[in-house]
Structure 1
């Protein structure tokens, strides 16, 4: 596929994530997709495989996070890889703590389907916002 078509597929993927129908997202991912979200200490971190893994992480994200994108993301592509550069602001629902996340998604597209997603995100900001007690509380109690 052309670079332009790969970018369009990724744009459709991002647009579909705001849809209320998860089938919109799943129609764009390969059955053997791998989605890597780095980090520890928050619910979405891990490697999510297959369409079922994507559906599960999106479901969990909608339960855990409120998020907005204050500026449109930038799309940069070469070959079958599309980098998406953006900013997200939001809060973790369980803690009501806000976060600011500058991120990059590294997405591989083959034959019109997303086959791999690797996020580069501010895991510290998300883990801090997910913490049930303020940072350092455990240290003060010890």
Structure 2
């Protein structure tokens, strides 16, 4: 059986298509996914369809070159944290950004049941205006 750390690592370390497929394979149908207050997609999304429409489809269409590059992981049982840097160019303004982030995942039986995002929203907001 694959470790929780490896499940999460696989959602970041391939191409965007691979990462998306790997995420969909391990996200719970009733996942609770929380984007940080101050982030453009702030709020809690419940369920895969809501998450895909509210976050991932918007990232894919509103940004060019959007990436979440992870430099460190920490695992503690059913929790895995990923630390890294977002980068990309916001299409509406043409402004690029880089911003540090942390994602805290909670897993059960090999599925992501919760994710909470922590990010320097000021750095992201500068690209939006």
CA distance in 1, matches of 2:78, 2:16: 24
Higher strand share: 2
For structure 1, the residue ranges without an aligned partner over 5 or more in a row are 132-142
For structure 2, the residue ranges without an aligned partner over 5 or more in a row are none
CA distance in 1, matches of 2:63, 2:15: 13
CA shift digits 1:81-134 (9 cap, x unpaired):
001011122211111111111110001111111111101011111122112xxx
The structure with the larger Rg is: 1
Matching of residues 17-56 of structure 1 within 5 Å: 18-19=16-17, 22-40=20-38, 42=40, 44-56=41-53
Q: Which residue of 2 aligns with 1:139?
A: none
Give the Å deviation of 1:22: 4.9
Q: Which residue of 2 aligns with 1:58?
A: 56
Q: Which residue of 1 aligns with 2:115?
A: 117
Contact 2:70-2:82 at 8 Å conserved across structures: no
> 3-state DSSP class of the match of 1:91?
strand
TM-score by length of 1: 0.78
Q: Out of 81, 94, 99, which is 2:92 matched to?
A: 94
Computed over aligned residues only, the root mean square deviation of the Cα atoms, in angstroms, reads 2.3
Matching of residues 102-113 of structure 1 within 5 Å: 102-113=100-111
CA distance in 1, matches of 2:27, 2:75: 18
Query: How many residues align structurally?
Result: 127
Q: Which residue of 2 aligns with 1:8?
A: 6
